[in-house]
């Protein structure tokens, strides 16, 4: 399966500016700023935690993702999109970008995680370094909002997201976590 990002999201049509602090994030603040493993935190909170893969395939990362991972615009990456489920409801949408060249060697197992959490692999490896978190209030026109909130029905005005780059000996991957309203219940 291939994941294609529309070129319209590579332009000014969608603001890709991320914040250094989650300003006015209210009840989401502690979740957003927690520098530990979100997977571990969710497993502690929900007696029934699972990972539900939504899409996995090769595609072109968004423009701002290319820059963070030092990729040329022609590069493709493995895009993994999953819903983290707590007690049978989606509480987080996770979007990961894994450049093709790093899926060998040290990161070889990350290309075939299936319904296993990526966080367990990242936080279970002591040599993996997490870069600083950045934050964004996603508007409904943002492609990550649209992927996180598919279907019909009442949708929130915005969704809070955070992202960071994980580095292992110069090989980088990026993880974006979009917090769904159900996580506050």
Tokens 């909130």 locate to 149
Set out the domains of the chain in order of their start, with CATH numbers.
Answer: 7-184 (3.40.1410.10)
Is a pLDDT exceeding 70 seen at residue 97? yes
Is a pLDDT exceeding 50 seen at residue 10? no
Band of pLDDT at residue 119, cut at 50, 70 and 90 = confident
Band of pLDDT at residue 16, cut at 50, 70 and 90 = low
Question: CA quadruple 40, 46, 49, 53: dihedral positive or negative?
Answer: negative
Band of pLDDT at residue 109, cut at 50, 70 and 90 = confident
- The CA distance from 10 to 7, in Å, is 5
Lowest mean pLDDT segment, chosen from 40-44, 118-122, 136-140: 118-122
Contact 179, 159 (CB under 8 A): yes
Band of pLDDT at residue 8, cut at 50, 70 and 90 = very low
Dig out the tokens for 131 from the structure: 């870069």
Band of pLDDT at residue 65, cut at 50, 70 and 90 = very high
pLDDT score of 152: 66
126 versus 137: the higher-pLDDT residue is: 137
Is a pLDDT exceeding 90 seen at residue 120? no
pTM greater than the 0.75 cutoff: yes
- The CA distance from 177 to 159, in Å, is 10
Is a pLDDT exceeding 60 seen at residue 1? no
Task: Give Cα 68 distance to the centre of its chain.
Answer: 14
User: How is residue 2 annotated by DSSP?
Assistant: B
Quote the mean pLDDT of the chain: 87
Is a pLDDT exceeding 80 seen at residue 46? yes
Is a pLDDT exceeding 90 seen at residue 92? yes
Q: Which of 84, 83, 80, 76 is CA-nearest to residue 55? A: 80
pLDDT score of 153: 74
């Amino acid at each position: 399966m291939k994941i294609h990002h529309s070129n319209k999201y590579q332009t000014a049509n969608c603001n890709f500016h991320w914040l250094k602090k989650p300003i006015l994030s209210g009840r989401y603040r502690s979740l957003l700023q927690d520098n530990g493993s979100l997977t571990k935190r969710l497993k502690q909170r929900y007696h029934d935690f699972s990972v539900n893969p939504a899409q996995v395939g090769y595609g072109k990362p968004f423009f701002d993702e290319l820059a963070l991972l030092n990729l040329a615009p022609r590069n493709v990456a493995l895009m993994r999109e999953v819903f983290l489920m707590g007690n049978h409801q989606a509480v987080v949408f996770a979007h990961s970008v894994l450049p093709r060249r790093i899926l060998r060697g040290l990161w070889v197992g990350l290309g075939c995680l299936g319904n296993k959490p990526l966080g367990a692999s990242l936080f279970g490896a002591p040599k993996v370094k997490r870069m600083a978190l950045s934050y964004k209030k996603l508007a409904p026109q943002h492609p990550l909002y649209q992927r996180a909130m598919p279907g019909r029905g009442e949708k929130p005005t915005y969704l809070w997201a955070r992202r960071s780059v994980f580095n292992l000996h110069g090989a980088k991957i990026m993880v974006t976590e979009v917090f769904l309203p159900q996580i506050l219940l």
